[in-house]
C-alpha cells in the first residue's frame, strides 16, 4: 500500500508539471483558492453547510474510477483493496471536512465522513441489463454512455424540480438546473481514443466548435423539463434562470475543453478539483476557459489538420 501511494504522489507531481507549474507553488495555491472559495460559498449561499456536504460526496463518488478499482483488485488482497478505496475516498473529502470543522459544523463534518465511508462499500458490479433509450441519436457517445450510467440521478433531479413547485421554493429549482449541468460535465472526464479524434475531417477550431455545440444541445435537452417548470411557475424571475443556464453552458464548455487539453489517462482528479473550484466560485472560468481552449487547440493540432 505504501508503494501505491508513492506512485500516486508521483502521478500528481507529473500533473502539475503537465499543467506548467511546480508542485511547491501548485499545492499552496490550491489550498488558498479552496479556502477562499469555500468561505465565499458559505457567505453567499443559503443552507451552504448541507449543500457543501453534498458537493463533497458527489466529488468523491464522481472521481471513483471503475477501471482503476478493477486494477486494484487484481494487484491487492481483498482487505487491502477495501482499505485503499476507503482511504482514497476519505482523502478526497478531507479538505471539505476540515473546512466544515473550521466553520464549527461538526455534525455536517461527521455526516460527510459517514457518507463517504458508506459509498466506499457500494457494490458497483450490479448493472441493469436494460438498454435505456436516450434523446441523443447515435452520436456523440459521451452523452449516450454517460446518460445510461447516470439516468437515476436525473430521476432525483427532476424530483427536486417537482418539489420546487410543491414547496414554492425557487432556489431548489435553480439547484436542480445547476445539477443537470454538473452531471453532464462528468461525461467529459475520460479522454477520447486518438483515432476517434483523427477521423474528423475538421481543423482543431472546427472540431471544438462542433463538440461544444453538441454539448450545449444535449445538456439543454436534459435541462428543458426544469426550464419549462421554472418558466411556468416563476416567470417573473426568468433573468435568474437565464443567468444560471448560461453559467451551466460555460461550465460544460470548460469541462469539454479540459478533456482535450489533457489527452491522457489519470487526469480525472485534476479535472474534478478545477470543476469543484469553478462550481464554488464561477468567475474562475473567465481565466480557465481561454487557458484550456488554447491548450486544447495545441493538442488537437497534432491530430487534426
**pLDDT of res. 98:** 93
**Cell for 304?**
487534426
Structural domain includes residue 130: no
**pLDDT of res. 250:** 92
Arithmetic mean of pLDDT over the chain: 80
* pLDDT interval class at 241 (50, 70, 90): very high
What does the CA dihedral 136, 139, 141, 145 come to, rounded to 10 degrees? 20
**Statement to judge: residues 176 and 288 lie in one domain:** yes
Residue ranges making up the domain that contains 232: 141-305
**pLDDT of res. 271:** 67
More confident call, 94 vs 26: 94
Structural domain includes residue 127: no
Residue 126: pLDDT above 70? no
**Percent of the chain beyond pLDDT 90?**
15
Q: Is the pTM of this model over 0.75?
A: no
**pLDDT of res. 220:** 92
**pLDDT of res. 282:** 81
- Distance (Å, rounded) from C-alpha 252 to C-alpha 141? 16
Structural domain includes residue 128: no
Contacts of 63 (CB under 8 A, 6+ apart): 92, 268, 269, 272
| Among the listed residues 208, 304, 223, the one whose alpha carbon sits nearest the alpha carbon of residue 253 | 208
Residue 23: pLDDT above 80? no
Q: Are 184 and 143 in contact (CB under 8 A)?
A: yes
**Statement to judge: residues 233 and 199 lie in one domain:** yes
Residue 127: pLDDT above 50? no
**Statement to judge: residues 8 and 156 lie in one domain:** no
| Among the listed residues 41, 119, 26, 21, the one whose alpha carbon sits nearest the alpha carbon of residue 276 | 41
| pLDDT tens-digit map of 84-110 | 888 888 888 999 999 999 999 999 899
**Statement to judge: residues 116 and 166 lie in one domain:** no
Structural domains in the chain (count):
2
Please give the average per-residue pLDDT across 269-273, as a whole number.
66
Last residue of a domain, one of 122, 153, 183: 122
Structural domain includes residue 131: no
| pLDDT tens-digit map of 108-121 | 899 989 988 888 87
**Statement to judge: residues 223 and 85 lie in one domain:** no
Identify the residue whose cell numbers are 449561499: 45
Amino acid at each position: 500500500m505504501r508503494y501505491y501511494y508513492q506512485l500516486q504522489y508521483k502521478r500528481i507531481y507529473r500533473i502539475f508539471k503537465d499543467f506548467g507549474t511546480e508542485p511547491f507553488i501548485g499545492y499552496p495555491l490550491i489550498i488558498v483558492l479552496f479556502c477562499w472559495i469555500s468561505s465565499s460559498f458559505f457567505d453567499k449561499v443559503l443552507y451552504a453547510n448541507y449543500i457543501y456536504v453534498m458537493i463533497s460526496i458527489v466529488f468523491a463518488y464522481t472521481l471513483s474510477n471503475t477501471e482503476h478499482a478493477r486494477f486494484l483488485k487484481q494487484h491487492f488482497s481483498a482487505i487491502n483493496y477495501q482499505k485503499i478505496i476507503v482511504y482514497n475516498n476519505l482523502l478526497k473529502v478531507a479538505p471539505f471536512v476540515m473546512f466544515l470543522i473550521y466553520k464549527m459544523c461538526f455534525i455536517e463534518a461527521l455526516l460527510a465522513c459517514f457518507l463517504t465511508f458508506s459509498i466506499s462499500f457500494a457494490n458497483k458490479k450490479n448493472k441493469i441489463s436494460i438498454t435505456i433509450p436516450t434523446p441523443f441519436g447515435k452520436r456523440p457517445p459521451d452523452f449516450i454512455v454517460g446518460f445510461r450510467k447516470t439516468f437515476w440521478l436525473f430521476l432525483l433531479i427532476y424530483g427536486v424540480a417537482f418539489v420546487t413547485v410543491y414547496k414554492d421554493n425557487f432556489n431548489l429549482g435553480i439547484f436542480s438546473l445547476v445539477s443537470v449541468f454538473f452531471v453532464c460535465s462528468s461525461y467529459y472526464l475520460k479522454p477520447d481514443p486518438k483515432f476517434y479524434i483523427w477521423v474528423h475531417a475538421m481543423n482543431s477550431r472546427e472540431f471544438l466548435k462542433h463538440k461544444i455545440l453538441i454539448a450545449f444541445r444535449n445538456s439543454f435537452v436534459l435541462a428543458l423539463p426544469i426550464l419549462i417548470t421554472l418558466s411556468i411557475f416563476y416567470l417573473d424571475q426568468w433573468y435568474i434562470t437565464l443567468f444560471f443556464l448560461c453559467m451551466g453552458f460555460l461550465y460544460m464548455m470548460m469541462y469539454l475543453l479540459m478533456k482535450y487539453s489533457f489527452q491522457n489517462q489519470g487526469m480525472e482528479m485534476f479535472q474534478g478539483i478545477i470543476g469543484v473550484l469553478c462550481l464554488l466560485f464561477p468567475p474562475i472560468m473567465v481565466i480557465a476557459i481561454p487557458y484550456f481552449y488554447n491548450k486544447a487547440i495545441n493538442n488537437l493540432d497534432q491530430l487534426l489538420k
